Chains A and B, each alone.
Chain A
């Protein structure tokens, strides 16, 4: 199967994804450092869109804003990046870093599986472990994506949402590991048939 175009394409896509994740992480690291050095550079960047959870199966968002006398502050005055609290910035940086790391691990395991299929070692035990690992990593991603919180100086927003698509992917990964386990048993039996 060394000339299988689809498998080769899959490996190339995995490599592109590695690179993309590295670039995304680097960009976020630059933002993280720059935000602390020069927060005023982010004065006009409205982050209200970050709380958008329209694609989620279940979503609950809680937003609050400080009041100055009778005047309620506008979203554009509260939810701006330069007013993001340090603790919230650190929290989101750690969360985002973990998210990118887990996505990187998922792609790495997936690449291992594709490579083993290419080498006609599809039903080896390592692939069962890889699918289980993918399932666990996706569960981690699901947990990280489920909760988000942005605390600003004059307000904040937190949301809890359940992504059904991610849960389905988790389920698929675990089912695939079971299928591969069955395949591995059959392969071992056929290997030991003389």
Chain B
């Protein structure tokens, strides 16, 4: 897929671990791993909203289009 999720980059910038993010966002570690490893087929707006809120970033910081 041409859309890349830069969740690991943002997590590193905010110095946040996967388990911390999981606790704060309310998404299971398994699902966050799927997202982090670019295995996800789709992302709900509610999920994006929660992650952006916790990581204090914009959706564009998390998603990138690669040709």
Interfacial residues, chain A to chain B (CB-CB below 8 A): 188-189, 192-194
Inter-chain contact B39/A192, CB cutoff 8 Å:
yes
A193 to B41, CA, bound (A): 6
Q: For the complex, is B35 an interface residue (Cβ under 8 Å from A)?
A: yes
Binding site for A on B (CB under 8 A): 27, 31-32, 34-35, 39-44, 47
Contact pick for B27, options A188, A189, A194, CB 8 Å? A194
Task: Give the 8 A-B residue pairs with the shortest CB-CB distance, closest first.
Answer: A192-B41, A193-B42, A194-B35, A194-B31, A194-B40, A189-B41, A194-B47, A192-B40
Q: How far is the CB of B39 from chain A (nearest CB, A)?
A: 7
Residues of A within 8 A of B34 (CB): 192, 194
Residue of A nearest to B27 (CB): A194
By a CB distance below 8 angstroms, the chain B residues around A188 are 41
Q: List 23 A-B contacts (CB under 8 A).
A: A188-B41, A189-B41, A189-B42, A192-B34, A192-B39, A192-B40, A192-B41, A192-B42, A193-B40, A193-B41, A193-B42, A193-B43, A193-B44, A194-B27, A194-B31, A194-B32, A194-B34, A194-B35, A194-B40, A194-B42, A194-B43, A194-B44, A194-B47
Question: Which residues from A are CB-within-8-Å of B31?
Answer: 194
A188 to B34, CA, bound (A): 13
CA distance A189 to B31 in the complex (A): 13
